[in-house]
A and B are shown apart, each in its own frame.
Chain A
Amino acid sequence: MNVVVCVKQVANPELQYRIRDDALDIVRDNLTFQVNGPDEYALEEAVRLREAHGGKVTAIAAGPERVTEVLRQAMAKGADEAIRVDLPDGREFDPSYTGQTLAQAIQALDVDLVLCGVQSDDYAHGATGPILASHLGIPHASVVTRVEVEDDRVRVNRELEGGLEERVTLPLPALLTIQFGINEPRFASVAAILKATRQSIQEVTAASAEGASRLTVRRMYIPEVTQQAEMLEGSVDEVARRLAAILREKGLVPEG
């Protein structure tokens, strides 16, 4: 069972972002990066499938040189091989472009299952997986909360809105986008982290996906907060006192 797992390196969502003067991108100095949240679950699922069925796990990240960091982390957590597909910064807003780039690298592999995360922490397109499945010509399922492989089929639960789950099966090869919370991702041991620093990462330069791109950024900006909340700022006690007064005024504090 050969599983390919797509892991993305994203800018830390807790940062404050600034917009470039030309309003076409964010300012990229001083960003810090981390692995995309749901991709950790996708990786863990891939490693568990290999542990149960044999085969190998290949982690793929598209991005600049820097993304080898998340590939090393993936190897420390159990990926057997890692591939970096070159993709310059600045196309994060365009999943068609990313999908096409990743597809070029994956097409060359012998795969039974491709796992993506449900969405990226930066742009939350939720689209790269389905786009990839289209390019690879394989069936897919999004927002998966349970995976069971039986012979040449995979049985999955998909999470719909309001807590409803849909059960579907797909023939392999297939692509799944993995939802948060499907498993408990493991921590890497120090020995595994050390070992991963010595493992090699295959570098692939995909042909430019420029033709696939039909999106142009017109303007990037910091959105105005539409409904201005009354902001209580100051010392902790001041804030708490004002908030308590407001809640009392509105009759929201039970008597006694």
Chain B
Amino acid sequence: MGILVVAEHRQGKIQDPTWEVLGKAGEVAVSAHTEVKAVLMGDAVSDLASELARYPVNEVLVVEDPRLKDYTPEGYGAALAALLEHEEAELVLTSHTATGYEFLPRVAADMDRPLVTAAMDVSLVDGLVVATRTGYNGKVAVEIAMEGGGPAFVTLRPATFTPPEPGPKRAPVTPVDVDLSALQIRREVQGYEKPESEDVDIAEADVVVTVGRGIKKKENIRLAEDLAAALGGVVGASRPIVDNGWLPRSRQVGSSGKTVAPKLYVACGVSGAMQHLTGMKGSQTIVAINIDPTAPIFSVAHYGAIGDLLEIIPSLLRELEKA
């Protein structure tokens, strides 16, 4: 019995959210008096296995197969299901990333087991897994009991838990032979691409003034530009602003955009969705201008200016002009 953490890796590197999941898994294991095992699936991944072994886990289980060289939901799903025939676990964790929430729900459905995604907390008490997540744009939290176990599948929200430090000890690395003879992977991986851009690099700026949907119209972005100019910064954007074509993709802050950590971050009309917070919560001073005092952005903001940004920004500009 215990907790399995499925490690996410790409292009020869363990992905950062995996460390956070290991951190949380360790916490849960201590209070539930159980073990954490990291699961690594791939082909020729011994380097990554030894890297995982330096972290506080009881064991690193490695499933290697040429068909697991590239990640696919079918490959990971079959390998994980086969592994779970050898390894009894109460809880299987991975991160809520484009990879994690692509394959784990499918495995849970294939195996007919309980699933919660994007959890911000999880506990294991007397064999019962309880996961907490938010709903309604982060305005409501819900605690969910996952009945029927054997195991419960949970993806954990990134940028929520503290990654552990590697220690001097080495956990044992165990290759696991699973039967993948029936595995047929229908999805083919062609490669990766990263669109290049020549715009300003918002990650380099000391001050980022970000506009969200609260800006309402493209023409209003000028207000944010003026504010950015007054503060010596650049304009960033939440994703919907970029999707609307109001600002280039290079300005997007968040999990699918850039991660920024400027001295000052001013969020104008940004609600603070998980994918946005991931990209800016490390900023030194965070100011949020928002008409809704309950917006989730205030869970990371240091100062909240409550009101209509179309009025507050012009007034703030006048104040900043005064010597």
Contact = CB atoms under 8 A, between A and B. Distances in A.
Interface of A: 11, 13-17, 19, 26, 92-93, 95-96, 99, 121-127, 130-131, 133-135, 139-143, 155, 157-171, 180-181, 212, 214-223, 225-227, 229-233, 236-237, 239-241, 243-244, 246-247, 250, 252-254
B130 A121 contact: no
B14 to A, nearest CB: 13
Contacts of B143: 217-221
A142 B101 contact: yes
Contacts of B108: 96, 131
Contacts of A216: 144-145, 147
Contacts of B303: 229-232, 243, 246
A93 B231 CA distance: 42
A134 B104 CA distance: 11
Contacts of B112: 212
A163 to B, nearest CB: 6
Interface size class of B (residues with CB under 8 A): 35 or more
A216 B145 CA distance: 5
Nearest to A241: B319
Q: What 9 A-B pairs have minimum CB-CB distances, sorted nearest first? A: A181-B243, A244-B319, A134-B109, A240-B315, A214-B114, A127-B105, A142-B102, A13-B137, A167-B190
B190 A223 contact: no
B182 to A, nearest CB: 14
B99 A160 contact: yes
Contacts of A222: 139-141, 294
A164 B193 CA distance: 6
A169 to B, nearest CB: 5
B117 A226 contact: no
Given A236-B311, A240-B316, A240-B319, A125 B117 contact: yes
28 contacts: A92-B135, A93-B135, A95-B105, A123-B133, A123-B136, A125-B117, A126-B101, A130-B102, A139-B73, A140-B73, A142-B73, A155-B190, A160-B256, A161-B256, A162-B259, A163-B195, A165-B195, A168-B187, A168-B188, A214-B148, A217-B143, A227-B299, A230-B302, A230-B303, A236-B307, A240-B312, A240-B315, A243-B319
Interface string B206-248: 0100000000000000000000001110000001101100000
B98 A160 contact: yes
A16 B118 CA distance: 22
A230 B298 CA distance: 9
Interface string B268-284: 00010110000000000
B293 interface: yes
Nearest to B74: A139
B194 interface: yes
B157 to A, nearest CB: 10
Contacts, number: 264
Main secondary structure of the interface of A (DSSP, over half): mixed
Nearest to A24: B142
Nearest to B138: A223
Contact of A180 (B101, B230, B243, B299): B243
Contacts of A181: 239, 242-243
Given A169-B190, A229-B286, 9 more contacts: A13-B136, A96-B108, A125-B117, A126-B105, A130-B105, A135-B109, A155-B190, A160-B192, A166-B189
B249 interface: yes
Given A161-B98, A223-B134, A126 B118 contact: yes
A161 B17 CA distance: 10
B115 interface: yes
Contacts of B115: 95-96, 127, 131
Contacts of B322: 244
A24 to B, nearest CB: 9
Contacts of B98: 142-143, 158-161
B231 A223 contact: no
Nearest to B190: A167
B255 A161 contact: yes
A93 B249 contact: no
A133 B141 contact: no
B257 A26 contact: no
Nearest to A180: B243
A13 to B, nearest CB: 4
A136 B147 CA distance: 24
A220 B103 contact: no
